[in-house]
Each structure stands twice: as C-alpha cells, then as structure tokens.
Amino acid sequence: MRLRRLAALRAPAQHRHFDSASPPVADAPVRKGRARRHRPRRTMQIRVLGCSGSIAAGSRTTSFLVDDEVLIDAGTGVGDLALDEMARIDHIFLTHSHLDHVLAIGLLADSVTRLRRAQGRPAIQVHALPQTLQALRSHIFNGVIWPDFTRLPDPAAPVLSLVPLALGEVLVAAGVSIEALPAEHTVPALGYAIWDRARADAGAWVFTGDTGPNPALWQRLAQLKVHSLVIETAFRDEEHVLADISQHLCPTRLRGELAQLREPTDVYITHVKPGELDAIMSAIAAHASPHRVRALVAGQSMSV
C-alpha cells in the first residue's frame, strides 16, 4: 500500500497550514452538512488486540489494529488475529523497543511470508524512531534471536522493511493520518495521534505509548481536537518510586497529567499488569475528574 509522507513537524507543533490530512484543530467548528443517503460516512475503527502490561490467561500485551491494515505496536495480542487478517497488515507503527510492544513482529513476518508473496504484496513497512529500528536489527533480527526478515525470503523482496520515523512527523496510510507524538520513557519512545483524513472534524484517537510525566505531549494535544485518549497507568501509587524510575504512570501521576487535558474527553487506561486492574481503577476513581475514565479491554472496538 502506498504511504505518503507529509511535511515534518516538531512537537510542540507551531500553528501551520495543512492539506486535507491536517490534524483536527481543537477550536475548529464541526462542519455540518447532510449525509449522503446511499453512502454513510466512514468511521475509523480501532480494534484493541492487547492492552495489558504483561501476560497471563486472558491478558495480551499492547497492540491496536486500525482499519485492518495498520498496526500500532506488536505485542502478544497480534496472535489472536487470523492468518488472513495478519496478511492484510501493510504498516506497523512502533512506540518503542521494549519486548512487550515488539515481540510479535518476527512471528507475524514468519506467518505471512508465503501468503503475501503469493499475492504479490510489498514488504510490510515497520515505522519507528531510528533508535528503535536499530534495536530490532541488533537484538531481534540478528540471526540468533530470530532470522532477519528484512532480508528474507529474498533480499530484493523481503517481508519487512524498516522505515525511520521522526518525532512530529505525519504519515498517511490506509486513509488515516498518523502523527508521531512525544513520550518520556527509559528508551527513545513515541505516542501517536491518528485521525481519519475524510473526517478530521471527528477528532483524533491518541495513544500515549509508555510514558512518565510528559509536558510536551499536552502542549501538542492543546492544538488538536482529541476524540479519545488511551493512556497508560502501569503501577499502583504504593509503587510510585518504581513508576518514576521506570518512567511509567501511577494513579497520582495520571491525575496530574489529565489535569492538562483541556476538554472533557473519553479516557481509556492501558498497560495495567495482570491482577492489578481493580486496585488501579479504584485509585483512579477515588479522585473526581471531568473526563470519562474507564479501563481499556482487549477485544474492544473503538470508532472515531
């Protein structure tokens, strides 16, 4: 699938003029008009394949499928896709290099190689920061942990292509625009804002990725219309020291982050460790919020 690269931005972004792939602007009026009678408006669909901080029965690590063709992170949730669903994925956008977010890339490549080759499909493009791509080359696709699928089954026609992505860059794939947002983690990391090019007035689906307190994120989101926000809370408040060291959030840190989100928004909590969900959600619920906060659930579908 052809991917178009737009002009790079730097977060926090300045006010700029964009084409039809423009980010949804926070204060832009919603365009009103009559819907076409025989062609209902398309909605962007995000399928939650995994949203847990680790594995256990019923728990899958981070992965989201956008409109069947775009994967955001590649945790263990990818394994619940049927083979033909995996084969339709043309783009993978990674937040960072940690295993719970990347471990399915190699297995997916192995599963779909024959089918995509038979269909004449191009390489699956894996988009990430250069440091993340280098980690994949050095530590996964090194012939020791896993074969190098950036050269297999044929160096001239591999099943994977590693494509560098810059902070603030906006790409277009499968009819959606994807902006790389800042994240604060122990390794170079990103979040993403994703919006339907045909329905920018609906706002953006935003995923923070793994992050600790992140002022640059809120500066950028103040310039966007946010439809819904998926944000991590990996630790309980009793573990705030560990949360700070590992650059994750706990309920108290989350409260400070959400206070910077200007408009009431649907907020979904992700990356909770197995067995910790009730404790973390109870701690979050103990503090009043203008936002509609709930736990993200694997298998959930979100429409934007």
In the numeric block, which tokens belong to residue 46? 């995000």
| Predicted confidence band of residue 24 (pLDDT cuts 50, 70, 90) | confident
Cα–Cα distance list, 183 to 11, 96, 218, 231 (Å): 11, 10, 11, 11
| Cα of 90 vs its chain's centroid, Å | 15
DSSP string, 226-264: EEEEEEE--S-GGGHHHHHHTT---HHHHHHHHTT--S-
Coil vs helix vs strand at 17: coil
| Predicted confidence band of residue 149 (pLDDT cuts 50, 70, 90) | very high
pLDDT digits (tens, 9 = 90+) for 172-212: 998 899 999 999 999 999 999 999 988 989 999 999 999 99
With a CB cutoff of 8 Å and minimum separation 6, the contacts of 284 are: 233, 251, 254, 255, 269, 293
Vertex 47: Cα angle to 41 and 49 (nearest 5): 170
Nearest Cα residue to 109 out of 153, 67, 68, 75: 153
Amino acid at 109: A
8-state DSSP, 128: E
Amino acid at 191: G
Coil vs helix vs strand at 278: helix
pLDDT over 50 at 147, yes or no: yes
- 234 touches 53 (CB < 8 A): yes
In this prediction, residue 249 carries a pLDDT of: 98
For residues 270 and 268, give the distance between their C-alpha atoms in angstroms, rounded to a whole number: 6
pLDDT over 50 at 283, yes or no: yes
Q: What is the mean pLDDT of residues 161-171?
A: 98
8-state DSSP, 1: -
Domains, the chain, ranges and CATH?
44-303 (3.60.15.10)
Nearest Cα residue to 304 out of 220, 194, 178, 221: 194
In this prediction, residue 23 carries a pLDDT of: 74
Q: What is the mean pLDDT of the chain?
A: 90
